[in-house]
A and B are shown apart, each in its own frame.
Chain A
Amino acid sequence: MQINTEEKKRKNNNSFLRQLFKTKPLSAVCMMMLLLMIFIAIFADVLAPVKMVNGILPTSVLEKLQGPSWKHPFGTDSLGRDLFSYMIYGTRTSVVIALCCTVLSTLISVLIGVFSAMIGGWFDLIIQRFVDAWQCIPSLLITMILMQLFGNGILQMVIVLSIPMGIGGSRMIRSQTFAVKDLDYIHMSKMLGGNKIWQIFVHIIPNIMPLILMSMAGSIGGVIMSEASLNFLGYGVSVNTPDWGAMLTSSGRSYMYLAPWLAIIPGIAIMFIVFAASMFSDGVRDILDPRLRGGAPKYRSKK
């Protein structure tokens, strides 16, 4: 019992959030930003001054391409849509895609990586050759082709972005599983009669969890960026879904001279969220990555 409480105390002292706030203040601030984004995404309907009607932002020809004003803080686009509301609803698109992709791609990575390593032998060899081959093909090209296959839409985008990311990420999970699977406690579990499935879910996955969390945090920024790039290339969400990348392509590019805010605001928004995600994942990595643990030795030479 004594040990148990002490263990708990130690764990609490080292809790992830506490460490993040203490040692990586900037990452912690960025995490708050991401949470704010999620908040905006959830309450988009409440926050947006102009509400969506039947899933479409109301358009008005009379108010098209207006500059920023009190009524339209970010101005309006070529269809007369209020850019401020568009951006708020666009947050929802980005957040939904980023979260779903992160979860789905991690699931794919873990599934491929862990099973490939645990089953081993021929299965592993074949799967790894497939992963090798897949990785040779640049992922932007694969996503472009897959988008053509699945068509436009949020769900389609989630699937299309997750597949290459998941397959790419499986490498790291596999090698980490290899590192864990020959440790004593796994052998012990085998001796006690645990089968492979038990070993995977009770021993392996919890033990590679830091790595999984690290790669999840690391992929958020990439997802948002790829999503925006795909939308920019014209393979994206459907026309009526507000999306930052899509705004850049449709109105932003054509009316750049007449209405610069249409290009500048969505761009800054993308940059901002990717920045926050990267900074946050940096902090997560510094705390969770076993390779970077144990601080740097500080030496100086005599002056």
Chain B
Amino acid sequence: MARYALKRVLLLIPTLILVTFIVFMLMRIIPGDAVDYLVQVLQSSSGGKTIDREAVEVMLGLDKPLLTQYFIWLNDLLHGDLGDSFFMTGTVSSIISYEMPATLELVILTFLLTTVISIPLGLLCAARQDTITDNVIRVISVIMMSVPVFWIATLILVYPAVWWGYAPPMTYVSFFEAPIQNLRMFFIPALLGAITSAGGQLRNVRTLTLEVMRQDYIRTAWSKGIKERMILLKHAFRNTMIPVITMLGGSIGYLLGGSVILETMFNIPGIGQQLTTSLGMRDYPMVQGCILLISVIAMVINLIVDLLYKAVDPRVEIE
């Protein structure tokens, strides 16, 4: 086990380096760079003075060859320095650490709601396979998956306000300062995110449970005359939980990516919103930092879930 864990952690290193490379290169191949934008801004703010383009390039460190830039960035990264934002005051890490809590809160809430919705319903479907209950829940789950989240969000932002004068709060307060106000703001976006992701997860839970229900030990349990409730709760569901948890854990990366839309729509000052703005301005270090952080979080969670999976289920072979 320890050897396996070590191997997995070691394999993470090349993956991580590749992630940094992909992120860096993706940013740099986008046409139209930050220099043009900054020159424009400086020109208008200094009242039409000509700005030396090359000086700006040197200032941002963009005059060096691409690979050199990459290695400088990588080197800084190893020293825990994500660089400075081109347009905002402050280092990328300070801006990110300021915005991270909102994103994490949204993702955690979404994750919890997804779990609460999908596990019980998925298990119910599997236990009542091919009955009316099963079919109705499955159709509803497909509808949940098909709702465009941005569409429902727009409707929720506008119509309740028009009809009942209710609008979800749009000003962010930290959870630790005013928990109730904070939750009132986060509940609706989290619920929307959960609805869309729960549809798919519910179906996965159902499929995984059905696979377990076809195992020999379930048949044995039946033939011993054990009550249905006991079989479902003790034999089937407990065995299902292992792959289900792995699957749910794996979805966190997806939720982090999806937070971009929700944050933009509900004005949550998180990384997703920052990313959209920075991408528009070609703020390279900012975008690189944000994406890298999101990817690393997804990666680490996947690793932990994987290791837990092997630790909990002794049948899983370790290569």
Name A residues whose Cβ lies closer than 8 Å to a Cβ of B. 26, 129-130, 132-134, 136-142, 144-146, 148-149, 221, 225, 228-229, 232-233, 245, 248, 252-253, 256-257, 260, 263-264, 266-267, 270-272, 274-275, 278-279, 282, 291-292, 296-297, 299-302
Of A225, A232, A253, A282, the contact of B142 (CB 8 Å cutoff): A282
Report the separation of the CA atoms of residues A267 and B153 in the bound assembly, to the nearest whole angstrom. Answer: 11
Taking a contact as CB atoms under 8 Å apart, the answer to whether B146 and A257 are in contact is no
Taking a contact as CB atoms under 8 Å apart, the answer to whether B146 and A253 are in contact is no
Interface presence of B150 (CB below 8 A): yes
Q: What are 8 residue pairs bridging A and B, where the CB atoms are less than 8 Å apart in the complex?
A: A129-B18, A138-B258, A144-B276, A145-B26, A232-B151, A267-B151, A267-B152, A275-B143
Q: Are A140 and B18 CB-contacts (below 8 A) given A225-B148, A248-B154?
A: no
Taking a contact as CB atoms under 8 Å apart, the answer to whether A278 and B29 are in contact is no
Query: For A299, what are the chain B residues with a Cβ–Cβ distance below 8 Å?
Result: 219, 222
Taking a contact as CB atoms under 8 Å apart, the answer to whether A257 and B158 are in contact is yes
Interface presence of B211 (CB below 8 A): yes
Taking a contact as CB atoms under 8 Å apart, the answer to whether A146 and B148 are in contact is no
Query: For B15, what are the chain A residues with a Cβ–Cβ distance below 8 Å?
Result: 129, 132-133, 136
Taking a contact as CB atoms under 8 Å apart, the answer to whether A138 and B298 are in contact is yes
Report the separation of the CA atoms of residues A132 and B31 in the bound assembly, to the nearest whole angstrom. Answer: 27
Taking a contact as CB atoms under 8 Å apart, the answer to whether A229 and B22 are in contact is no
Which of B23, B148, B298 has the most CB atoms of chain A within a 10 A radius of its CB? B148
Question: Smallest distance from the beta carbon of A262 to chain B beta carbons, Å?
Answer: 11
Report the separation of the CA atoms of residues A73 and B241 in the bound assembly, to the nearest whole angstrom. Answer: 50
Query: For A300, what are the chain B residues with a Cβ–Cβ distance below 8 Å?
Result: 228
Of A130, A141, A296, the contact of B260 (CB 8 Å cutoff): A141
Taking a contact as CB atoms under 8 Å apart, the answer to whether A133 and B291 are in contact is no
Taking a contact as CB atoms under 8 Å apart, the answer to whether B31 and A149 are in contact is yes
Interface presence of B226 (CB below 8 A): yes
Taking a contact as CB atoms under 8 Å apart, the answer to whether A129 and B14 are in contact is yes
Of B142, B222, B264, the contact of A278 (CB 8 Å cutoff): B142
Taking a contact as CB atoms under 8 Å apart, the answer to whether B151 and A270 are in contact is yes
Query: For B227, what are the chain A residues with a Cβ–Cβ distance below 8 Å?
Result: 301
**Assuming A256-B159, A297-B213, what are 4 further A-B pairs, CB within 8 angstroms?**
A136-B19, A228-B148, A279-B142, A297-B214
Which residue in chain A gives the minimum CB-CB distance to B16? Answer: A133
Which residue in chain B gives the minimum CB-CB distance to A286? Answer: B207
Taking a contact as CB atoms under 8 Å apart, the answer to whether B210 and A140 are in contact is no
Which residue in chain A gives the minimum CB-CB distance to B260? Answer: A140
Contact indicator per residue, chain B 153-167, by CB within 8 Å of chain A (1) or not (0)? 011001100100000
Of A129, A134, A140, A270, the contact of B148 (CB 8 Å cutoff): A270
- Top-10 shortest CB links A-B: A138-B257, A133-B18, A267-B151, A274-B146, A275-B146, A299-B222, A136-B295, A140-B257, A256-B158, A133-B19
Query: For B295, what are the chain A residues with a Cβ–Cβ distance below 8 Å?
Result: 136-138
Taking a contact as CB atoms under 8 Å apart, the answer to whether B29 and A149 are in contact is yes
Query: For B138, what are the chain A residues with a Cβ–Cβ distance below 8 Å?
Result: 282
Q: Are A144 and B143 CB-contacts (below 8 A) given A263-B155, A299-B219?
A: no
Interface presence of B242 (CB below 8 A): no
Q: How many A-B residue pairs have CB under 8 A?
A: 148
Taking a contact as CB atoms under 8 Å apart, the answer to whether B294 and A138 are in contact is yes
Report the separation of the CA atoms of residues A190 and B236 in the bound assembly, to the nearest whole angstrom. Answer: 44
Interface presence of B183 (CB below 8 A): no
Interface presence of B42 (CB below 8 A): no
Q: How many residues of B contact A (CB 8 A)?
A: 64
Taking a contact as CB atoms under 8 Å apart, the answer to whether B23 and A263 are in contact is no
Taking a contact as CB atoms under 8 Å apart, the answer to whether B146 and A221 are in contact is yes
Q: Are A278 and B30 CB-contacts (below 8 A) given A141-B260, A144-B279, A232-B150?
A: no
Report the separation of the CA atoms of residues A144 and B264 in the bound assembly, to the nearest whole angstrom. Answer: 14
Of B31, B214, B275, the contact of A141 (CB 8 Å cutoff): B275
Query: For A253, what are the chain B residues with a Cβ–Cβ distance below 8 Å?
Result: 154
Query: For B130, what are the chain A residues with a Cβ–Cβ distance below 8 Å?
Result: 296
Which residue in chain A gives the minimum CB-CB distance to B222? Answer: A299
Taking a contact as CB atoms under 8 Å apart, the answer to whether B150 and A248 are in contact is yes
Question: Smallest distance from the beta carbon of B250 to chain A beta carbons, Å?
Answer: 10
Question: Smallest distance from the beta carbon of A112 to chain B beta carbons, Å?
Answer: 15
Of B146, B210, B254, B299, the contact of A271 (CB 8 Å cutoff): B146
Report the separation of the CA atoms of residues A98 and B26 in the bound assembly, to the nearest whole angstrom. Answer: 24
Interface presence of B67 (CB below 8 A): no
Which residue in chain A gives the minimum CB-CB distance to B227? Answer: A301
Query: For B147, what are the chain A residues with a Cβ–Cβ distance below 8 Å?
Result: 271
Query: For A137, what are the chain B residues with a Cβ–Cβ distance below 8 Å?
Result: 19, 22-23, 291, 294-295
Query: For B18, what are the chain A residues with a Cβ–Cβ distance below 8 Å?
Result: 129-130, 132-133
Interface presence of B256 (CB below 8 A): yes
Which residue in chain B gives the minimum CB-CB distance to A139? Answer: B257
Query: For B122, what are the chain A residues with a Cβ–Cβ distance below 8 Å?
Result: none
Q: Are A292 and B299 CB-contacts (below 8 A) given A129-B15, A148-B279, A282-B142?
A: no
Question: Smallest distance from the beta carbon of B161 to chain A beta carbons, Å?
Answer: 9
Taking a contact as CB atoms under 8 Å apart, the answer to whether B158 and A292 are in contact is no
Interface presence of B39 (CB below 8 A): no
Report the separation of the CA atoms of residues A130 and B18 in the bound assembly, to the nearest whole angstrom. Answer: 7
Q: Are A274 and B145 CB-contacts (below 8 A) given A137-B19, A141-B294?
A: yes
Taking a contact as CB atoms under 8 Å apart, the answer to whether B22 and A134 are in contact is yes
Report the separation of the CA atoms of residues A225 and B196 in the bound assembly, to the nearest whole angstrom. Answer: 11
Report the separation of the CA atoms of residues A201 and B26 in the bound assembly, to the nearest whole angstrom. Answer: 33
Question: Smallest distance from the beta carbon of B47 to chain A beta carbons, Å?
Answer: 31
Query: For A148, what are the chain B residues with a Cβ–Cβ distance below 8 Å?
Result: 30, 279
Which residue in chain B gives the minimum CB-CB distance to A273? Answer: B146
Report the separation of the CA atoms of residues A260 and B151 in the bound assembly, to the nearest whole angstrom. Answer: 12
Report the separation of the CA atoms of residues A279 and B139 in the bound assembly, to the nearest whole angstrom. Answer: 8
Taking a contact as CB atoms under 8 Å apart, the answer to whether A275 and B14 are in contact is no
Query: For B48, what are the chain A residues with a Cβ–Cβ distance below 8 Å?
Result: none
Report the separation of the CA atoms of residues A302 and B19 in the bound assembly, to the nearest whole angstrom. Answer: 57
